[in-house]
Amino acid sequence: YDLDNNGIKNKLDYNQSIDFLKNTGRNNYLLGFNDILHSDLDNYSPVSDSIKTYNIIGCGQPTIGQIFILNKETTGTEYGLKYISGDGTVPLKSAEALTADDSYYIRGVEHAVMPGADDVKQLAIAILKDTIGSFSLNNYPTISHNSADCSLNGTQISFHSPIDLNVYDENNHHVGPDQNGDIELGIIGAQYDDLDGNKFVFLPNGHNYKVVGQAMGKGTFNARVQTVQNGQYIETVYYNQVPLNSTSTVAQLQINNGQPAGVIEIDQNGDQIFETQVEPSAVLNQAEAAD
């Protein structure tokens, strides 16, 4: 969808993406500063100055990789989002761009806390003491020499306005907005994002999840449940224009250990009695979902 009305649709290259951000009111100064910063950094590695360089890369965490504009709906713009492997902030492919003498992949550790992770500290000590040659990865389960160990597997769920998105596992751990409106990430390995009212959550395999939507207004909402296997979106279950008759309406969906989604149960008046069920509007395979 041509949201900025400049006649350009489909996937945008780097310069087109920058133009899109400017055309939709983003901060021109920061965009320019970003360009200057990266022009200095992107093509440099300490290796070129004969400095022994080790790249310690976080991976296996859902990280924003692509954002799509799907449709212009009456309630606003409907976005799609694709998660890829990374440390929750830096995508794996970006971190790998640094030329290094050796690279180590740290699985399941988020960007902000990676320097303090026990395995990472032991790796850094071995590098600084020059004992890295005898550093046995068998003793450090989160560290790998192989990027293939960083694959992303799980379920991505998205609700598109006007409805909140909350998820609970079998131990009642919660992902979603709390009473203060802050995002709670109580499930290890989960990720939550909100793009202009489009809510996205990534859930790792290995748990049973109850997905709960609370209406924020009357109308309808769209939902997608996508199965991610080895970083590929292999199936999309789509629900189109599910009715929300009041702000008391609750929608509920069960996801069991990565199994495909079934019906959405609807409680229109908030009395905890789910009187209707909504079947998927479409179940798409990998090729169909990418169309």
pLDDT tens readout for residues 31-50: 888 888 888 788 788 998 99
Mean pLDDT of the 146-166 span: 93
Average pLDDT, the chain: 92
pLDDT tens readout for residues 280-290: 999 999 999 87
Is the confidence at residue 75, as pLDDT, over 70? no
Maximum separation of any 2 CA atoms in the chain, in Å = 69
Q: What integer pLDDT is reported at residue 58 of this predicted model? A: 96
Phi, psi for 44 (deg, rounded to 5): -110, 140
Q: What integer pLDDT is reported at residue 2 of this predicted model? A: 84
Count the helix, strand and coil residues of the chain and give each as a percent rounded to the nearest 5: 20, 40, 35
Residue ranges of E strands in the chain: 54-59, 61-73, 76-86, 102-107, 143-144, 154-160, 166-169, 174-177, 183-185, 191-195, 198-204, 208-214, 219-229, 232-244, 250-256, 264-267, 276-278, 282-285
pLDDT tens readout for residues 165-177: 999 999 999 999 9
What are the structure tokens assigned to 230, written together? 């080895």
- Grouping H, G, I as helix, E, B as strand and the rest as coil, residue 120 is helix
Can you tell me the distance from the alpha carbon of 83 to that of 203, in angstroms, rounded to the nearest whole number?
11
Q: Which region holds residue 196: left if phi is over 0, alpha if psi is between -120 and 50, else beta?
A: left
What are the structure tokens assigned to 189, written together? 């390995």
Q: Which region holds residue 231: left if phi is over 0, alpha if psi is between -120 and 50, else beta?
A: left
Q: What integer pLDDT is reported at residue 33 of this predicted model? A: 86
What are the structure tokens assigned to 194, written together? 């909100």
Q: What integer pLDDT is reported at residue 77 of this predicted model? A: 84
Mean pLDDT of the 270-280 span: 94
Above pLDDT 90, what percent of the chain?
Answer: 78
Is the confidence at residue 72, as pLDDT, over 80? no
Please name every residue paired with 177 in a beta bridge, in sequence order, or none if there are none: 183
What are the structure tokens assigned to 12, written together? 């945008």
Is the confidence at residue 260, as pLDDT, over 80? no
pTM of the model: 0.90
Can you tell me the distance from the alpha carbon of 139 to that of 143, in angstroms, rounded to the nearest whole number?
9
Q: Which has the closest alpha carbon to 187: 172, 199, 177?
A: 172
pLDDT tens readout for residues 78-132: 899 999 999 999 999 999 998 999 999 999 899 999 999 999 999 999 999 999 9
Mean pLDDT of the 147-165 span: 93
Can you tell me the distance from the alpha carbon of 63 to that of 46, in angstroms, rounded to the nearest whole number?
26
- Grouping H, G, I as helix, E, B as strand and the rest as coil, residue 170 is coil
Mean pLDDT of the 175-183 span: 93
Indicate the pLDDT class of residue 28, thresholds 50, 70 and 90.
confident
Q: What integer pLDDT is reported at residue 250 of this predicted model? A: 97
- Residue carrying the six token digits 């071995």: 126
Is the confidence at residue 278, as pLDDT, over 90? yes
Q: Which region holds residue 199: left if phi is over 0, alpha if psi is between -120 and 50, else beta?
A: beta
Contact 165, 213 (CB under 8 A): yes
Is the confidence at residue 74, as pLDDT, over 70? no
